[in-house]
Structure 1
C-alpha cells in the first residue's frame, strides 16, 4: 500500500494544488469549476513514469522515500498537516469538517489504484498508462470515503508552535489508523516532564533489545534510577529493615501533596488533615478510596522495591542485569499506562526518573543527553514502540522537520540510518516515508523524482515545481542543492559578510560614501584577510593594492610581517 497523490482545493496557502509522491506514477487533476469558482468535477490524468526505476531501491520493505523541500512558508508543513487532518477526520462518524475538496490516490499491494475523494465515489482501476478517470460530485459523505484499513499513518514533528484542529475521535474496537507522535500533540495531553519520562522509559526498553544497536549515537547509561521527591523525610531515618516502607510512605505523601495542589479548598483541607495526623495505612487507604482504586502506582513501586535500593531511597535498575530487565519492563508497561490514564497527576513532582553512568573507578554520575541526542532517540523510540505493537502491515511515516538540532554529520546519515533501521528491525512490515526538511544532505540521498519542490509565489501561495525543471539532486554537492533545490536567493553567503564585503568594494571603488560607510585601510585589510573564498579574497586584495598604490615590495613586506606574526603565535 502506497500513497501516490493528493490534490487539495483550499487549505491555508495551498490552492487547487496536486502533489505526486511516487517517482513511478504521475497524476494531474484537470478540474472544472462552476461560476462561483467551486470545483464541481474534472478529469484525473495518470501516466506511468521512470520504467527503469529499480524495484527495491530503498530495500525490500520500503516502497518509497519522498522529501518535501522549499522556502520557508512555501507549504511543506501545511501539506503534512492536511494529510493528518484527513486521516484524523476519517475516523470520525460525521462528514469531514473544515476540509474543502480533496482527492487521495493509493496503490494497493495488488497493483490497483484506489481513489478516495470528496468529489467522487471511491473507485478502483487497473494501472495503465495515460488513463483518464472521470470525476463527479455526487458522493462526498464519510461513509463513501473510507481509508485502506490495513494502512497506518505515524506522524512525528519537533514543532511545538503548530496545533492541528481539535477533533474528537471516538474510541473503537479497531486500532486507530493514525498516531500523532509529535511534541505538540503529546504536550496537549501531558506536561513536559511526563513526555520526557515516557521517552526515557521507551528508550531504555529498546536498549535492552536488538534494536538498541541503532541507538549507538549516544553513550548508553549503566543504570535507570527512580527517586521519590520528598524533603520531609530525610535519609538518616532509614534503617535496613524499613527502607521499603519509608520509601513507599514518601511516595504516598508526595502523591497526596500533588493532588492537594490541584484540588479545591475543601479537598485541600481534607488532605492536609490526613497528611498531618494520619498513619501510613490511613494515607494508603485514602489514596485507594479517592484517587487510585487499583493502587496501580503504589503496586508498581512496591514491586520495584523487591530489589535492593540505596540508603537514600533511590531504586537502581542495572541495564546489564537480566533480572533487573524483567523488573524494569513491568515498571515501564504499568507506568506508561498510568501516565496515559491519569495525565492530571504530575509524576515529576512525586518522583524523578533519570539515567546514571559508571566511571572507570566505579563511581556513578549523571550525563544528560544533548538536545539533538534526546530528540533523535525519542523520535526513534516512539516510532519503534508504535510499529512494534501495531497489527497493521503497511505504514506511512511522516516526519516534519525532525532533524532540527542535528549536527550536519547526523543529517548526512539521516536517510541511510532510517532505511537501515526499518529494513533490519521490521523486515515483515512495509513502509512509505515522507520527510519535510531544510537539509541539503538529506536530499542529496534522493533522486530528484523523489522530491517535491515547493516554491512560494509572490501572493504567498504554494507552487509545485516539476522535477523535470529541476537539476539532479542525487549525490549533488551542498552548494548546488542550496541554490537550486531550496530556492536560495542572492548567493550562498551570509548577509552580514556580504554587507561587509560590499562596503569594502564601495570604499575601494572611489564611490561617494557617507561618514558611517567609510573604512580605514586597516579595517579594509582586516575584512579581506578574513574572507574564506579565494577568488573574492584575491580580487579584493588586488583592488586594495591598486587603490593604496602598493607596489610589489610593499606587498612582500606585508606578507613577511604576517608570516612573522603567525610564527610568534605558534611559539
Structure 2
C-alpha cells in the first residue's frame, strides 16, 4: 500500500488561515470540528487510475494571488527550518507565546493512519498518546471506523510495515517545487543544493532549481515526447571556462611575466598564456608547426590542458599565500620547477599537472583549510576524466564546449552534467571555473523546460531510494508563464511524463498543484479542487476553503466567469471586453442582426483561438434559440428549393 496525504486542518499557524480544512482524497470523508473529534469514513472512489497507473491522484488548490496557496504549500512541503522561519507570529510582549496548531492525516494501509502536526492534544479522540510527546509530533494510529476513534500505535520513526526493515517515516517524501521566476540555470548561475529536512514526520525536500543533468535529459529526449512541434530545436548549451585570476585589463604576456611558478621547467610552454592562434601554429615543443601537423594539440586537448592550468594558476596566484607559509611556498615552488616532463603528450601533461596539485596540497598547512584544497584537487581530477571521455566534436575552442540540444541524447554529456550537479555546490574553485548557459529559448520554453526538468528530481529520488513508496509532489503555479495551450495540456503532459517511467516496483506519485489559471481545471474532478476565497472582515481578510463548483470537462466560459480566474489569463482591459461580450450575448432576447453581426466581428478579433472558439459557440447557441419562427420557415423553404434544384441537375432534368 502506498501512503497518501488525505487531509489537513489548520487551527492557527500565525499566517493566512484560521480554522480551515483541506481534503486531498476521494477515498474517505474526513471531518473535524465538533468536540475536536476527527471523523473518518470510507467511500467509493470512481477516480482511481484516472491519471494513469503511477499517479494516485491529482488535486488543485485555486485562488487569486494572495489567497494563501503558497502558504499552504510552505506548511506541507517546506523543510522544518524553513517552516519555522515562515510561521513566526509577532508577539505583543515577551510574556506572550505563540504555538502553531495544525495536523495532517495520511492513510498507510487498511485502518492504519499517520497523524502529524503541532499540538497532539488538538484532536480529542486519539487515545493512549504517551505522556511527554513533543508539541511537534508524528504518530501512527489505528482508526476504528465503527467507533470513530483512533488509538496510538507508535512514533513513525519506530514503525515498519509487513516486516519491512525501513521505518515508516522513510516510505513517503514530500517534494516541494517552489515557483521560481529567475531561471538561474539559463543565465549560467550555479544551481544550489536541494534543501534536506530534519523533521519528526515524513521526509521533506525543498527544491526550486532543476539540475543541469535533468535539463539536458529533458530537452534532448523527453521534450520531443510531449510536444511534437519541438520548438527548441535551435537551442544550444555552452560550457565555457571563465578566468578569475587577474583583476583589471592585463595582457597574457604581462600575466605570464607576473606568474612565478615554472611549470614544465619553461613558462612559455603554458598553453593558458598563449593566444588561440599561437596554440594552433606552434606545437607543444614550442617549434613552429604546419597547420596539419599530427602532433599539434586537438581542440579538446587544449580545452582540458588550459582548464587544469588555469586552476593551478588561480590557486598559486590567489590562494597559496593563505594556505602556505612563505618558506613552504618557496620549497614547493622549487620542487615543481625540478619536475621533469616530456610535455609533447597529452596524458603526460595532465598527469604532470595533477602531480603539481598534489605537491601544493602536501605543502599546505592543514590548519589553513588544506582539506578544502584536497577536495578541490580530487574533484578536479574526476571532472578532467569526464571531459577526457566526452566526444571530441563538442569542443569548439580552447575555452568552450557547445552542445546542440536537438541532437540525440548522449550518455557522456549527461554524466558530465551529473558531475557538475554533484560537485559545483561543494567546490568554490570548480564552481567558478566553468559557466554553463542555455541559449535560444523563449520565456515560455524556459518555463516549460524548468518545470518538467524539476520533475526528474522526483524520478531520481525514486530510483535511488527503494524504501520510498509515495512521492507527494507539490507544484506551486507551475503553469504561471505558460502559453494557454500549454496550460490546457499540462495535466495531460504531466501524467504522460510520470507514467512513462517503469521503476519495476510499486511507487505512486500524489500531486497537488496550486494555480490561478483556468486552463488546467477542466482535467480534474470538482472533488479534487479546493477553492480559497477571500472575504473582507473587520481587521483584515478571512480566507475560506471550499470544494469547487466546477471541474472535469466543465465549459471554459463557465469556469472563467468564476471570480477565481477572470483576471488571470487576459489583460484587465481585455477582461472588460470579455465580460461585455458575455453580457451582450446574455441580453439577446430577440433576433437583432445588427447586434449579432457586431458581436461576431468583435469575437473574430480575439487572438486566442480557445477563447475565440468558446465565445463563438456561445453566440451561435444563443442566436439559434432566437431565430424568429417566420425566418426559420423561410430558411427551411429556401434550403428545400436548393435541394430540389440539385436533384434535378443530378438527373439531367434541368427546367432551365
TM range (shorter): 0.5 to 0.7
Residue 304 of structure 1 aligns with which residue?
387
Q: Secondary structure at the match of 2:56?
A: strand
Q: How does 1:75-224 map to 2 (within 5 A)?
A: 75-85=68-78, 100-110=100-110, 112-117=112-117, 118-120=119-121, 121=129, 122-126=139-143, 128=145, 132-133=148-149, 148-159=169-180, 177-183=203-209, 198-199=211-212, 201-205=213-217, 213-214=225-226, 217-219=230-232
Q: Secondary structure at the match of 1:56?
A: coil
Residue 543 of structure 2 aligns with which residue?
463
Contact 1:74 1:462 in 2 (8 A): no
Q: Secondary structure at the match of 1:436?
A: strand
Q: Secondary structure at the match of 1:376?
A: helix
Alignment partner of 1:23 out of 20, 23, 26: 26
**2-structure distance, mates of 1:424, 1:17:** 37
**2-structure distance, mates of 1:234, 1:202:** 35
Distance apart, 1:266 and its partner CA: 5.2
Residues 260 and 384 (structure 1 numbering): CA distance in 2 closer, same or farther, change over 3 Å?
A: farther
Q: Secondary structure at the match of 1:115?
A: strand
Contact 2:196 2:206 in 1 (8 A): no
How many residue pairs get aligned? The number is: 456
Residue 240 of structure 2 aligns with which residue?
227
Residues 421 and 140 (structure 1 numbering): CA distance in 2 closer, same or farther, change over 3 Å?
A: closer
Residue 477 of structure 2 aligns with which residue?
401
Residues 6-48 of structure 1 deviation map (CA, whole Å, 9 limit, x = unaligned) = 112222111122211113323222166xxxxxxxxx2112334
**2-structure distance, mates of 1:221, 1:241:** 32
Distance apart, 1:100 and its partner CA: 0.9
Question: Runs of 5+ in structure 1 lacking a partner?
Answer: 33-41, 92-96, 162-166, 184-194, 356-365, 503-525, 538-571
**2-structure distance, mates of 1:102, 1:429:** 28
Q: Secondary structure at the match of 1:474?
A: coil
* 1:241 paired to 2:296: yes
Residues 76-122 of structure 1 deviation map (CA, whole Å, 9 limit, x = unaligned) = 1100101124767999xxxxx98612211111144533333432443
Residues 82 and 350 (structure 1 numbering): CA distance in 2 closer, same or farther, change over 3 Å?
A: same
Distance apart, 1:345 and its partner CA: 3.8
Residues 135-177 of structure 1 deviation map (CA, whole Å, 9 limit, x = unaligned) = 99xx999999x9743111111122469xxxxx996889x9982
Residues 209-255 of structure 1 deviation map (CA, whole Å, 9 limit, x = unaligned) = 77973476543579765332358542213245334664334223544
**2-structure distance, mates of 1:371, 1:6:** 33
Q: Secondary structure at the match of 1:415?
A: helix
**1-structure distance, mates of 2:304, 2:205:** 35
Contact 1:252 1:284 in 2 (8 A): no
Q: Secondary structure at the match of 1:431?
A: strand
* 1:7 paired to 2:9: yes
**2-structure distance, mates of 1:159, 1:439:** 17
* 1:367 paired to 2:440: yes
Distance apart, 1:501 and its partner CA: 11
Contact 2:174 2:202 in 1 (8 A): no
Contact 1:397 1:433 in 2 (8 A): yes
Distance apart, 1:438 and its partner CA: 1.1
Residue 47 of structure 1 aligns with which residue?
41
* 1:57 paired to 2:50: yes
**1-structure distance, mates of 2:324, 2:601:** 69
Distance apart, 1:442 and its partner CA: 1.1
**2-structure distance, mates of 1:242, 1:17:** 68
Distance apart, 1:352 and its partner CA: 3.5
Greater gyration radius: 2
Contact 1:228 1:250 in 2 (8 A): no
**1-structure distance, mates of 2:464, 2:233:** 24
Residues 262 and 379 (structure 1 numbering): CA distance in 2 closer, same or farther, change over 3 Å?
A: farther
Contact 2:179 2:478 in 1 (8 A): yes
Residues 177 and 211 (structure 1 numbering): CA distance in 2 closer, same or farther, change over 3 Å?
A: farther
Q: Secondary structure at the match of 2:296?
A: helix
Contact 2:175 2:474 in 1 (8 A): yes
Residues 184-216 of structure 1 deviation map (CA, whole Å, 9 limit, x = unaligned) = xxxxxxxxxxx6xx33x3232456777973476
**2-structure distance, mates of 1:176, 1:113:** 13
Residues 287 and 398 (structure 1 numbering): CA distance in 2 closer, same or farther, change over 3 Å?
A: farther
Q: Secondary structure at the match of 2:397?
A: coil
Contact 1:88 1:178 in 2 (8 A): no
Residues 327-366 of structure 1 deviation map (CA, whole Å, 9 limit, x = unaligned) = 3344233322211322x3463x4224356xxxxxxxxxx6
Q: Secondary structure at the match of 2:489?
A: helix
Contact 2:175 2:458 in 1 (8 A): yes
* 1:252 paired to 2:308: yes
TM normalised by structure 1 equals 0.65
TM normalised by structure 2 equals 0.57
Contact 1:64 1:433 in 2 (8 A): yes
Residues 454-509 of structure 1 deviation map (CA, whole Å, 9 limit, x = unaligned) = 11221455533433xx423221233321333617589998358749999xxxxxxx
Question: Runs of 5+ in structure 2 lacking a partner?
Answer: 85-96, 122-128, 130-138, 160-166, 183-193, 244-251, 253-272, 281-294, 338-351, 363-369, 581-597, 606-614, 620-656
**2-structure distance, mates of 1:425, 1:149:** 21
* 1:350 paired to 2:350: no
**2-structure distance, mates of 1:312, 1:455:** 57
